Amino acid sequence: MTGVLFGRRALFLGGIVRAARPADRSGDRPTRVRNEAVDVLGQRTLLQRAVPGLMHAFIFWGFLVLFPTIVMAMIGAVDVHATLPWLGHQGWYMLLVDVFVLLVLAGVATAVVIRAVVRPRRFEGSHRGEAYVILGLIAAVVLTLLSGMRR
């Protein structure tokens, strides 16, 4: 039954994608690159609200910075003495990891407080249970990295 539901949904979404017209993205490449850097990497839109914006930026940037550590942890699961060449032996990167682990945890804690205590109107009707699961999983990954990097 699950396979049938998955197949129906996949066909429906595939039909929507096939019905879409291609976008012309050939013009003004420097502006598009700048917008991508400022809006996506710089989190400009989210930072219009200071606390939620910083919370989201901490989590977003944390995972960008911590991604190599996640790769190192996967490599370490196969061979305890192996790591990423060069980066795995850099003290400054391990310090950066510790800083961003704390920032991500601060972001997760802030997100929980915003959802559970502040409860802004924009979250009415949202999937609060799923949000807590996702925040818990983010915290678990980050805490695993923090405790797993000490040998």
Whether 132 is covered by a domain: the verdict is yes
Residue given tokens 């060069």 in the structure block = 86
Give the model's pLDDT for residue 147: 56
The pLDDT of residue 103? 93
**Tokens 């429906």, located at residue:** 12
> How many domains in the chain?
1
Note whether residue 11 is domain-resident.
no
10 within some domain: no
Collapse the DSSP code of 80 into the 3-class scheme (helix H, G, I; strand E, B; otherwise coil) and give the result.
Answer: coil
4 found inside a domain: no
Q: Looking at the domain assignment, is residue 133 inside a domain?
A: yes
30 burial (CB, 10 Å; 0-12 / 13-18 / 19+) is exposed
Domain coverage including residue 107:
46-148
pTM: 0.67
Amino acid letter for position 89: H
Average pLDDT (117-144) is 82
Please enumerate in sequence order all residues whose Cβ is within 8 A of that of 127, keeping only pairs 6 or more positions apart, or say none.
none
Of the chain, the percentage scoring pLDDT greater than 90 comes to 20
